[in-house]
Structure 1
Amino acid sequence: MSVLQDRQAGVCLHLTSLPGARGIGELGRAAYRFIDGMDTAGLGVWQFLPLAPTGYGDSPYQPLSVYAGNPLLIDLELLEQDGFITADEIGVLEDLPPGTVDFDRLIPLKSQILARAGERFAKSASSAMRAARDDFVAVSDATWLHDYALFEVLRAMHQQRSWLEWDRAFALRDPAAMAKLEEAARAQIESIKSIQFLFFEQWSRLRAYAAEKRIRLMGDVPIFVALDSADAWARPELLYLDANGLPTEVAGVPPDYFSADGQLWGNPLYCWEQHEADGFAWWIGRIRHMTELVDLIRVDHFRGFEAYWSVPGDAPTARDGEWRPGPGAALFDAVSAELGELPIIAEDLGVITPAVEALRDRFGFPGMKVLHFLAGEAHFEPDSIPENCVCYTGTHDNDTTVGWFFGGPGDVRTPEEVERMQANVLEATGGTRQSIHADLTRLAFSTRARLAIAPMQDFLGLGSSARLNTPGTTSNNWRWRLTDEQSTP
């Protein structure tokens, strides 16, 4: 049975893009106002990107942990109300620019504030909050929290360098070295755990409010872990890593029309034989964790569960890769046997074969249809979009609809391809060039798809300057934010 039963409309906006005066979106007043705006507009699903702390390039798809929450999203006003920080301490963030996230300035400033909050928690938290924190730690330590706290302590000791560049004893988790670290850094470890508790406590409140408004939250699960992550450092046996922690096989996608060399993502690949021998326990834990946070789960690069592109770890491009079989139905059988029906949306874009479709359909997972992609085909037929899918105008990896329609910076399409797309869209929508963002959104919402979603930028008719991410680039991504005036859909 599909997790999509009733027709709904939704909006995609990452939490970092919420408005506010402290340099980045937070889990406080602006998030609650956004839910109120969705409720007023009749939108039923809020989709966002992974909530994890980010590493390389500030990308939520290269997380430092697939379990942890991003401390930068913690609402500081709520921490002030709880007595863990002061208004003066918060004030240093008010010089950060609106409308964008300046990660280089934000991260050191907010991290310092949060470190103070973590230290003060131990001294001034109420008995009820302290008990809730102890319960959280007791449940989370065995799965991920203790390893994550150790990882963050060691990153700070090594000036935020990759764990592959740490002192060898720490990189390879020598028992004697780790025991000394735990003793010497006990207060710092406990502070990091408290900060994670505060994130998930704020998230729990926000989720409860969304549920009151009957708004479903859609999270995102990247298929791969980052090499520079607590996940890879703590569980190297689950990945194709050599004795020094270097990946012997990495992820990517093969060459295609857009890239002669393919895409070399560089994430270490899973040793699926080890996962299967463990009964897929790591994946069961990961999906269980997500079901506790959100109502729907978009699984990125779903096709990689059927077969994935494996590239030698030392290859300069993805050209020399080959297809390898993924875990297939065995993984989802194991997870569903433990957790029941899975609220998964399969991101089934890219090289999709009948075998990938069969795996998706076996479990009733809705797929995805993106009008930006479909409109470029010779025959644009939105009426053929099926019910059991999510229909998008564009995704976080696309330009905004306005930028896409008029051909934004870096557009690789030929003028003829752009003209064909424009003709297809204008004919299908019956709209105009001036109202194309509204017309395409209306078209997505009128398809047979049970769920239709548009990025917030398309509701507002914003151009390419509001693009969130350009795949294949590493600068000026993940920065766009709403202003206060734009914050209601």
Structure 2
Amino acid sequence: MTLHFHIEYRTAFGEEISLCIVENDEVKTHRMTTVNGAEWWCDLSQRKSDHSLTYYYKVTADGAYERSEWQTVKHVLDFTCTAATEYHVYDRWNDMPDDSYLYSSAFTDCINHQQPQPLKSTSYDRTLRLIVRAPQLREGERLAVVGAQKTLGEWCPDKALPMTLHNYCEWAVDIDASQLQGESIELKFVVTNASGHVMMWECGCNRCLTLPDMKKGMTVMYSLDQAFFEIWNRKLAGTLVPVFSLRTKESAGIGDFGDLKMMIDLMAKTGQRVLQLLPINDTTITHTWTDSYPYSCISIFAIHPQYADLRALPELEDEEARREAEAERSQLNALPQIDYEKVNAFKSGYLRKVFQQEGKKIMKSAEFKAFFQETQSWLVPYAQYSWLRDEYGTADFTQWKDHNTWNEDDRAMLSDSRTKEHQEVAFYYFVQYVLSSQMKAAHEYAKQKGVILKGDIPIGVNRYSCDVWMEPKYFNLNGQAGAPPDDFSVNGQNWGFPTYNWDEMLKDGCKWWVRRFQNMSKFFDAYRIDHVLGFFRIWEIPIDCVYGLTGQFVPSQAMSREEIMQYGLNFQEERFTEPYITDWVLDRIFHERADEVRSEYLERIDGERYRMKPEVNTQRKIEERFAGVTRQEDLWLRDGLYSLVSDVLFVRDRNRADMFHPRISAQLDFIYESLYDVDKEAFNRLYNDYYYRRNNQFWYREAMKKLPKLVQATRMLVCAEDLGMVPDCVPWVMEELKIFSLELQSMPKSPTTRFGHLSQNPYRSVCTISSHDMPTLRQWWDENYERTQDYYNSMLHREGPAPHPLPGWLAEDIIARHLDSPSMLCVLSVQDWLAMDERLRLPDADAERINIPANPKHYWRYRMHLNIEDLMADDKFTDEISTLISQAGR
């Protein structure tokens, strides 16, 4: 069988088009031919036994990759014409469409429930196949074609030819070409319901096709321009809540995957279509409450055992053990907040009992064997890592004898059920099988209920994680990832994660990230990229720092001494790069304890300045010096010493000591205050150029090396957290890749406005009031009375003084305005939904806070104070939400 591919694509001089055929994740490339640089073709031979061919086109220049088609939904050629000896394929180049979100599994699988079906076989001597994309179609709607000729129904809607959804949002029909009259045909596409009744016709003029001279055995396939219908854009509402915060009457002191199903029921009952979660990855480092931080995962694949639904496991056979477990479960579930250590000790013990009772049987099942086969690339190292962590009593793998890094030679014995090593790690295999099965079941349940599960991709991993242990080449361990100062933290955020070695990751096409996203797509249909700015540049903090002020963006284009001086600033290297410590500074910071600081922590450089003594000349050394201190006045002294160390005007580049970066927020420090006014003006010009203009094109290129691969790795809907110090290039990339932005009225993207205008939200965005890192709506309302008053008058257009605390009726008004915004998704925290009802919300608004980013040791233990069953039964509350959503057209 011969295949003839044709595509029109106007190339520049030196560019070539290649046809890329995908077979079992391998790509075979075929160069195409042209005579005019616009019409390209190539011929291939194909086995008749094959069912279909998946392919895409790409452009190369001088043999190097330039660009390719959108690869999330590739071309598919079905070999269903049994009489065909040759296929002539006339394709069109597919760039990422503006409505790419409609091709996501969030829409195809959860909202529209449109699943591709194989084309039916035909035996026509000559076949005309029409292919057209129609992503707007909704659940129960189908595509058909009608035209002027008898075969096409002679424009009679009742005789329209039904088409088959053979690819995501792509419809196909095979027409007996021997029944067509003349050299051209005229047609239109129509939408029908399940019974075949035509509901609407496509917009625009009739389509006209000129047909080639078709011989016996030929199939001619045309990929046509997208069919467009007058169907309004969808808008959806949803809730943000961590799985650990869920509460039902039967859970065990923490939310689990059984509770998640019940939360999905609540979403469906209230008309909500999106349920957004925080990361569910395993974070077990110390087995203490400090592991409660869900963004510090030890594996990008493994799920945290705390989410196991014990109700879904086989019942314990020992009656006394069952009674004891039920009593402990009941006690834990009655706690107002999560007791991380007790919950995890209880769940781990219960899982071990089930494993001892059922493990051998389950691990012999076909389901477990399939799971192990699919996941063993990461599961085996993770299981050994977990066993070694517990065996040595530390996750610091540098202290594990003979196991400082993963040894691939260990895989065979860890995978053989007859070995002692397998018996040591089998429990971890079992637990991950249970967790994966339960989360997949919740995912399937959500899809059936028409609810999109939205996950979260943390930007970093713990520096003692299994991922670092297994593939250290992908990480830089001599730095710490964080964020520059923002509204969340005036000293910047230091997450402690290692930064990524992107040079190494790019060598293999970011396989580590691609595998991560593809694994996540088993459980979610949408995801939030945590701190998407990290894909442009990450804020890297020296390993000896506690706070983030002396970090630098990596990668970035540092400045030379000569460049700095061109701005009119007399560059004094020692003064500007060493901590600026003088008597007036000490008096301003430490007041009556200034002399104590001079004598204990400083040594003189000259008549004006001091330097820190060697034993306290970094923030980490100061932290160690004050370890265990609890008195507030001593903590205040420690923080003052921290500020001395970071009081510099420039930070040296981490790779080149003769290059410099202006220190973030230096204008708030004493070194800046000491400058002459003319030097302040020069530094400000330099600072603004560096942070807002100098690196824009550079960071754009950096992001485009990485993000296109990741966005197209799955069909999940892509959303991003794009808050903070956002360079101009970020919106360029997000627009190009159709990534949804995050819109908060209290944190507008424009620096010239205090509050965002909801009516200006882009459609491709997620609108919310507060995130897990922020105060809830009720907290924000009472945080700053002057700001609240301004918002009350200027945004809510109400007169008089703003009421405090926030009344329920006003919370409802604010929520209604957000639901009315143009954003496709409006996802509100469960606390903000509850703020509407003064009967249900907690009396203490501060008890609803999930995280405080300024505190790196925050205990993540917030739990809903109400059972989901009770919320489901509260018709007043559920009707209120349903009405608001319906009135907003969501």
Amino acid at match of 2:292: D
Equivalent in the alignment of 2:246: 18
The residue type paired with residue 387 of structure 1 is Y
Q: Are 1:98 and 1:481, in contact at CA under 8 Å, matched by a contact in 2?
A: no
The structural deviation recorded for 1:317 is 2.7
| Higher alpha-carbon deviation: 425-434 or 218-227 | 425-434
User: Please, which of 86, 111, 125 is the counterpart of residue 348 of structure 2?
Assistant: 111
- Deviation per CA, 1:371-419, whole angstroms, max 9, x where unpaired? 3434995354221111110000111112221121122xxxxx5x43343
Change (3 A) 1:384 1:427: same
Q: Is 1:134 paired with 2:509?
A: no
TM-score by length of 2: 0.50
Aligned to 2:854: 472
Q: What's the Cα RMSD here?
A: 2.9
2:817 equivalent to 1:434: no
What is the 5 A alignment of 1:300-449?
300-325=530-555, 327-336=702-711, 339=713, 341=715, 343-374=717-748, 377-407=753-783, 413=784, 415-427=785-797, 433-435=806-808, 436-449=810-823
> Which protein, 1 or 2, shows the higher relative CO under an 8 Å CA cutoff with sep ≥ 6?
1
Alpha-carbon spacing, 1:317–1:32, altered in 2? closer, same or farther (3 Å): closer
* Post-superposition offset of 1:151: 1.1
Distance in 2 of aligned mates of 1:67 and 1:321: 30
- 1:176-187 to 2 correspondences below 5 Å: 183-187=419-423
Matched with 2:432 is: 196
Matches within 5 A, 1:48-197: 48-55=277-284, 56-81=290-315, 87-88=322-323, 90-91=325-326, 92-96=328-332, 97-125=334-362, 130-142=365-377, 144-159=378-393, 161-164=394-397, 166-173=399-406, 183-197=419-433
Flag the structure with higher strand content. Answer: 2
Amino acid of the residue matched to residue 325 of structure 2?
A: I
Distance in structure 2 (CA, Å) of the matches to 1:390 and 1:333 = 20
* Superposed displacement of residue 178, structure 1: 8.9
Letter aligned with residue 212 of structure 1: Q
Aligned-pair identity in percent equals: 24
Summarize deviations over 1:218-253 as a string: whole Å, max 9, x none.
00001111112111111111001xxxxxx2122112
Q: Which has the higher helix share?
A: 1
Task: Verify the 8 A CA contact 2:521 2:714 in the aligned structure 1.
Answer: no
Cα pair 1:262 1:319 within 8 Å, conserved: yes
Instruction: Give 1:213 deviation, angstroms.
Output: 0.9
With 372-381 and 230-239 compared, the bigger mean Cα shift is at: 372-381
1:40 corresponding residue in structure 2: 269
Residues 406-436 of structure 1 show CA distances to partners (whole Å, capped at 9, x for unaligned) of 22xxxxx5x4334334444542899974123
Secondary structure, in 3 states, of the residue corresponding to 1:248? strand
Question: How far did 1:320 drift?
Answer: 2.1
User: Whole-Å Cα distance in 2 between the matches of residues 448 and 333 of structure 1?
Assistant: 26
- 1:253-299 CA-to-partner distances (Å, cap 9, x unmatched) read 22356645322221100000000001111111011111121010110
**1:279 is matched with which residue: 485, 498, 509?**
509
Decide whether aligned partners of structure 1 residues 425 and 118 sit closer, same or farther in structure 2, where only a CA change above 3 A counts: farther
Residue type of the partner of 2:776?
A: T
Distance 1:191 1:477, change over 3 A: closer
Residues 8, 258 of structure 1: CA spacing in aligned structure 2 closer, same or farther, 3 A cutoff? closer
Provide the rounded CA distance (Å) in 2 between the counterparts of 1:280 and 1:175.
Answer: 21
- How many pairs were matched up? 471
Change beyond 3 A, Cα 1:382–1:334: closer
Aligned partners of 2:329 and 2:404: how far apart in 1?
A: 34
TM-score norm. by structure 1 comes to: 0.88
| Change over 3 Å in CA distance of 1:15–1:225 after alignment to 2 | same
Q: Which runs of 5+ in 1 are unaligned?
A: 241-246, 408-412
2:457 to 218, 221, 224: 221
Unaligned runs of 5+ in 2: 1-98, 103-232, 285-289, 556-698, 836-840, 873-877, 879-890
Structure 1's 483 and 401: CA in aligned 2 closer, same or farther, altered over 3 A? same
